[in-house]
Amino acid sequence: MTWSETKRRWRVMREIEDLFLADPAATLPWREEYAELFGDRAGLATALRYRWQLARDAQLDTHASEAAWDEQLHRLDLRTRMLIRRLDDGAGREQGRDRVVA
């Protein structure tokens, strides 16, 4: 994957995350151009989950007190709650596949 493709992937994922933050009732979007970046909807859902996991891992301080950890986790939860809920509700799953975490 080229640097340009990587930047496009991350831009699309940010846009989708912003969509879910702005409109909790939104559905997982799909455009023809996404196919070359993610393959299919399941690939997009996997990439979005991976982005969330990276954000969570990067932003959680493993040396923080339990209260600070809980607060950090709560803020991350609020930021991505609708995105993850939509993915868990099956918006990004192919029939017959379980939840996938990259």
The per-residue pLDDT for 20 is 82
Q: Coil, strand or helix: which one is 77? A: helix
**Distance from chain centroid for Cα 96:** 21
The per-residue pLDDT for 80 is 72
Q: What is the mean pLDDT of each run of 10 residues along the chain (102 residues)?
A: 92 91 84 94 90 82 89 82 72 44 42
